Amino acid sequence: MSGPRVNPTRARQMAVRVGGIIAWSAFLSAAVATMLCFAFIDPHAFAAGATPSWWGPRMQVYAIGFFFFWGVGLAAAALAWFLAHGRRMGR
């Protein structure tokens, strides 16, 4: 079977949709990862000297942790998509 024929409008819609899928799956995994991580780790349990400069109140560390996991998930999902389909985009 040959790959889907691509016209510019369709390609743009496809890119948006693939981007959405990548962002959304990364978001879901980040939500789970954040919950698991901070269920076991209390940001305040670290000694003051052992924390990086951006460390702050718990809510801040939770939020930064969430975006960190989201970033990692984005990278993983994007890479997975690229390895699976990336060649077709170059055609």
Partner 1 sequence: MNAQLKVVSESYYAHQKVYPREVDGRFAHLRVLSVWALLGIFYLLPWLPWGGRQAVLFDLPARKFFIFGIVFWPQDFIFLTWLLVIAALLLFFVTAVWGRLWCGYACPQTVWTETFLWLEKFAEGDRSARQKLDRAPLSARKLARKSLKQFLWVSFALWTGFTFVGFFTPIRTLSAEFLAFNVGPWETFWVLFYGFATYGNAGYLREQVCKYMCPYARFQSAMFDRDTLVITYDTERGDPRGARKRGTDPRAQGKGDCIDCTLCVQVCPTGIDIRKGLQIECIACAACIDVCDDVMDKMGSPRGLIRYTTQQALEHKPSRLLRPRSLIYGALLTTLVVGFCAAVYMRNPVALDVIRDRNALYQVRDDGHVDNVYTIRILNKSEHAQRFALNAHGASALTLLPRMAEYSVPSGEVYSIPVRVRRATYEPLGAETITFELGSLDDANVHVTTRARFLAPTR
Return residues touching partner 1 (CB under 8 A).
Answer: 4, 9-10, 13-14, 17, 20-21, 24, 28, 39-40, 42, 57-60, 62-63
Residue 65 neighbours by CB under 8 Å, 6+ apart: 34, 37, 38
Write down the least CB distance from residue 81 to partner 1, Å.
Answer: 12
**∠ Cα 75 16 4 (to 5°):** 100
CA distance 64 to 51: 14
Write down the least CB distance from residue 63 to partner 1, Å.
Answer: 5
Of the pair 1, 52, the CB lying nearest partner 1 is at: 1
